[in-house]
Structure 1
Amino acid sequence: LIMTLEDDLTTAAATGNAAAVEYLLETGAHVNGLNRFGRTALQVMMMGSLSVAQTLLKHGADPNVRDRSTGATPLHDAVRTGFVDTARLLIEFQADPNLRDNKNLRPIDIAKLGGHEEVFAFLETE
């Protein structure tokens, strides 16, 4: 199996390695490119890693990219895991808080169901 720059980029994002993410983007990795599993770096990034999220978003990562099987966006994922700072950053970079996943759930619905009160309160104001 041939590893691509996008495979390396998603691995760096998933492990929270912001320096490697920056380096790979500067050396030609496509910020919205798909890895061998059909996912972008923003979709697989370590949700608690704001530096990785900032780097990807500043380089033009699509904050509204959807998971092929669930329809979830990175905002859905950040909310599901309770990362309010990541959710805030995604919205700052134009993530749409009204997009619904394949279960017809918006990020705010997921925050409520998951008991993530801080994220829910933030999304209520958006």
Structure 2
Amino acid sequence: MTLEDELTSAAAQGHTAEVSRLLQAGAQVNGVNRFGRSAVQVMMMGSTPVAEVLLRHGADPNVADRRTGATPLHDAARAGFLDTVRLLVNYKADPRAKDKANCQPIDLARKSGLTDVVAYLECVLSGNSGL
């Protein structure tokens, strides 16, 4: 198992300390596991601390899934993790990114009835990121 496999596994399980340890041990933050996915793509979306460690170490917040075109922001918006959505936007995730179904993250939040995420992304898209 490569360090990147271990890193994606730790990120998916929400193990912040293990993610930090693996990055310090030389795991590449944007490296991919044996399935071609990076840690920020598979991270436990509800674990803002994991997201913060990855992003602080230079994880690409705009990496898109090869099959669906979804970015981490799409995933966090769809699942309603407002803290992770905010963090990703703060680290320059593109709120206008479209997946292969031509949906932006706000569209996915709207479809899921996640009004707090929709309200935040509306502010970001209008240029008012003061929320």
TM range (shorter): over 0.9
SS of residue paired to 1:69: coil
- Tell whether 2:124 aligns with 1:117: no
Aligned length: 124
C-alpha separation in 2, matches of 1:41 and 1:26: 15
Provide the TM-score with structure 2 as the length reference.
0.94
The residue that corresponds to 1:81 in the other structure is: 79
C-alpha separation in 2, matches of 1:125 and 1:40: 29
Tell me the percent identity.
Answer: 62
SS of residue paired to 1:97: coil
- Residue 34 of structure 1 deviates from its aligned partner by 0.3
RMSD over aligned CA atoms reads 0.4
C-alpha separation in 2, matches of 1:58 and 1:72: 21
Q: Aligned AA for 1:98?
A: R
**Structure 1, unpaired ranges of 5+:** none
- Residue 17 of structure 1 deviates from its aligned partner by 0.2
101, 104, 107: which one aligns with 2:102: 104
- Tell whether 2:43 aligns with 1:45: yes
Moved over 2 A (4+): none
62, 69, 72: which one aligns with 1:71: 69
Q: Aligned AA for 2:59?
A: A
**Structure 2, unpaired ranges of 5+:** 125-131
The residue that corresponds to 1:95 in the other structure is: 93
